[in-house]
Structure 1
Amino acid sequence: MMADYKVITPDFVNLHISTSNSDIPSFNDKRFPKDTTIADLKAKLELITGGSSATMQLEGYSKDNKLICTLSDDSAQLGQYPLEDGMRLHVVDKFSIKNELDFGNVPKFELSDELYANKADSLRAFLMRNKLGHYNEDNIQNKEKLKKEEQEICEAVVLGSRCKVEIAGAATRLGCVMFKGKVEGLDGFWIGVKYDEPLGKNDGSVKGKRYFECPMNYGAFVKPQNVLCGDFPEEDYDLNEEI
């Protein structure tokens, strides 16, 4: 009796993205879930290409650049179309959002603020619709709150104190606090730690500027929220001990 076999296909597809606007370069392969609806796919492509999800049309091309399908049903899923890894997804649109950013020195027709605010395909509408930049008030407030909390944690850390550094995905490390404050070229506040073992990334300096002294690979700069100060005695590493 023959066994039943089931063909299993990947849940994602990698597609090369191109556009009908010759001024917009093509994009390297993007990975999309096959269960994404075409409407949601257009919303993602709006962020990638600058086209408008309300007006764009999508075409699928084979690896030898032959048109194989038109993704015209917004309620359909991407996996319902015969698209495979390495094929090309072509975005056809007027790219009015992108064009607003690329007018250069060419004289442009300027709308009044009232008329511009009512345009559905303007850059402002695009930013507001996706809650980007200064149109995302919650994000701005959260960032300011986090920065303030980070500064408060940093100021509370005592120089010279023993500490434990815990970062997601990395082993816990013990050391001593050698620096706290701003680091040139890096955003926010930082804690400079001299580790008990050579598990760091530097010698207490960043881009040629020194913040504290320690041997190479014993130093590290970590965010204040990843540092816990306390009674953490240096462990005794007996290199001669064998098991």
Structure 2
Amino acid sequence: MEFQSTPADVSVKIFVASSNGNASDGPRLASERRITPSWTVLQTKSKLETMTGIPPSNQRLLMKAPGRENQWIEGDDRIIGDWQLMRGCEFEIHDTRPAAARPNFSDLSEVEKYTLPTSTYESLSDTVLSWKKSQKLGRFDPSARTPEEILSEQVEKDRTEIQRRGIELSKRAIILPSSPPHVRRGTIRFIGPVPTIPSAGPKPTSPDGPAPLWIGIELDEPTGKNDGSIGGQRYFTCPQNTGVFVKPEKVEVGDFPPLGLDDLEDEDMEEI
């Protein structure tokens, strides 16, 4: 019996075509695999499944070899060596499954994520929290004011401004800063807290806690932002886009009569 040598394995680069089937858009996977020329095409696809996750029945192989035209490898029972494997060959694998049937490994929304329990985090000694504790920063500062104290200070400041500026319901006022001809004037319709206005500052720990004060003004012209309601809560009533809420320090009370038709015509003439 004559001895027959085993064909030498050939190192082949493996690429998976992009999801639209065009590898020029960039492969989704690039690797390298030693291929034995005596394998059948089906055996080769089975080996490649462990690398790509694509079932053999859904693989279509395109072989690229230096100096030769690209060839589709067809026939699962044929020997892969029939395509004359050589150094520098590449297999481009096309997934024939519909896009909806392919697993999306880039979608992390369904991946279970580990969350460190709060009690465990607080017990660690090499965290930002432990550093803040040791440095007595933030809420660990014994001299730091509580959110209620900060809010109470703000409310007291607002009350002082309201009293100092003579802000009262039904009084006429302008919104600062104002300079002719862009002077927004109107009538004060509301004075009090507006909890539906989002605040970036400290939040009260209870609904009955202190809250900053706002001034609601019905403007003479539709240069406002609401109709006296905000966040689904009504505080006063006025036509749409004539209502506005401002802080007390932005209000100047005075003898600011509503603009009449003659005033509007004069302003238009000044802009000509």
TM-score where L is the length of structure 1:
0.44
- Name the larger-Rg structure: 2
In the superposition, the TM-score normalised over structure 2's length comes to: 0.40
